[in-house]
Structure 1
């Protein structure tokens, strides 16, 4: 078994391990975003989920630049993640230098952020689409078919995790779970800002500290973020 094959297997085991009664949705999606970058040879990944109104919100991003780009995409209601979510199909733009006609606001913003290609994969189970996973590359070009298939498989696993083995008829429970994830994301962003200012580090480094502390203490990312914002955790170090 090659190193890549072994890492793919380990990643799916890692993701499957989160499918328990009280799993950490936010931590789960953070793992997903970073493993996608590692395994698919892309430069960044973002994950957006729909709330109970069907409005997309950002819940995970592998870098701060990606987070800002995703937020811009959602605020402008234009871009690949919205197309993939509403259409329920993968969306690709292999060269964003030719993307201004399709996405007049998103394409220039993506180029300014350092990306020249994007691929969006729907997070879908049967007819239910809960969000989209966005893959960004600094160089133009498409992804190999096997990489796209692996990315979609990871998005499918994430969707199953989010729905948490509930049926389509249990939408009330699903909506509550997604809303909790969106609320947790806001708290994590606050904690990142607190740490970045307190330690004079970048926002990405602040998030790495949060994530590392959550894993080393076997805590939920949301709980660590709350403790940082409340001042209960003050000993994190760069």
Structure 2
């Protein structure tokens, strides 16, 4: 196995490994950018990712020049990376004349920083595009078909890893929210019992009193429940603060 093949294999392993406990998305994307330069006929690379609202952000770059070019794209709403993200397809132009026709301001900035070619590969999984990989060259012309296949494969693997990591993070966040909701529910039941015992109210009445008090004082019900349990909110305060509405339905 040649050194390039070894580096390529190592890169795919690195891009697929997003399930580690200390996963760092910035370091992960920096790896994609630097390895793109090492493995492809590119002199610089940059990566943009979309936020939850579809807005693109510069997330990693192999050089300061690449970072500046990507920022320029965003600030001027012009360039291959933006077109690539919007279409979900690779974007390139055959020569500088075609580049100037498509992206006049960007092409001028590109040349001012010493580059003569730019193209972008989508970071996508099926119909979902989460960003784009920008590749810059000092020489005119596009990447070879072989390099394009390797570059797209790296972008695809990185995308799968990122989406997988996001799904796990979202699942863990949901589990935390559910656990918090369950804990709050237990606390509410306990507070209902405490208030019912102290005041002689029924359990449903006690809940309605707690709920009405929380609403009238713009408080979270779980906070009111906690204060009833620890005694910092007195029974008479709760009852005086709000009375259960006539005909109120029992809480379930």
Q: When the two structures are superposed, what TM-score results if normalisation uses the length of structure 1?
A: 0.67
Q: What is the aligned partner in structure 2 of residue 15 from structure 1?
A: 15
Q: Secondary structure at the match of 2:104?
A: coil
Deviation at 1:21, TM superposition (A): 4.7
Any unmatched runs of 5+ in structure 1?
A: 174-238
**More deviation, 70-79/155-164:** 155-164
Contact 1:124 1:159 in 2 (8 A): yes
Q: Would you say 1:72 and 2:72 are equivalent positions?
A: yes
Task: Name the residue aligned to 1:181.
Answer: none
Q: TM-score, normalised by structure 2?
A: 0.64
| Cα separation, 2, equivalents of 1:97 and 1:64 | 26
Mapped to 2, the partners of 1:13 and 1:78 lie a distance apart of 34
Structure 2 CA distance for aligned equivalents of residues 44 and 16 of structure 1:
22
Q: How far apart, in 1, do the equivalents of 2:6 and 2:111 lie? A: 34
How much does 1:133 deviate? 0.3
Distance in 2 of aligned mates of 1:160 and 1:115: 30
Aligned length: 172
Following superposition, the deviation at residue 85 of structure 1 comes to 0.3
- The separation in 2 between residues aligned to 1:19 and 1:137, in whole angstroms, is 33
CA displacement 1:203-223 (0-9 Å, x = unmatched): xxxxxxxxxxxxxxxxxxxxx
Relative CO higher for 1 or 2, CA cutoff 8 Å, sep ≥ 6? 1
Aligned to 1:85: 85
Structure number, greater radius of gyration = 2
Please show how residues 176-195 of structure 1 align to structure 2 within 5 Å.
none
Counterpart Cα distance in 2 of 1:63 and 1:149: 23
| Residue 129 in structure 1 maps to residue 129 in structure 2 | yes
Q: 1:119-176: CA deviations, max 9, x gaps? A: 2000001111100000000001121111100000110111112112566xx79x7xxx
- SS of the equivalent of 1:73 reads helix
Residue by residue over 1:57-107, the C-alpha shift from the partner in whole angstroms, topping out at 9 and shown as x without a partner, is 100010001101110111111110011000000001243354222112111
Cα distance, 1:23 vs structure 2: 1.0
> Once the 2 structures are TM-superposed, how far is the Cα of residue 22 of structure 1 from its aligned partner?
4.2
Provide the aligned C-alpha RMSD in A.
Answer: 2.1
Deviation at residue 14 of structure 1 after TM alignment: 2.2
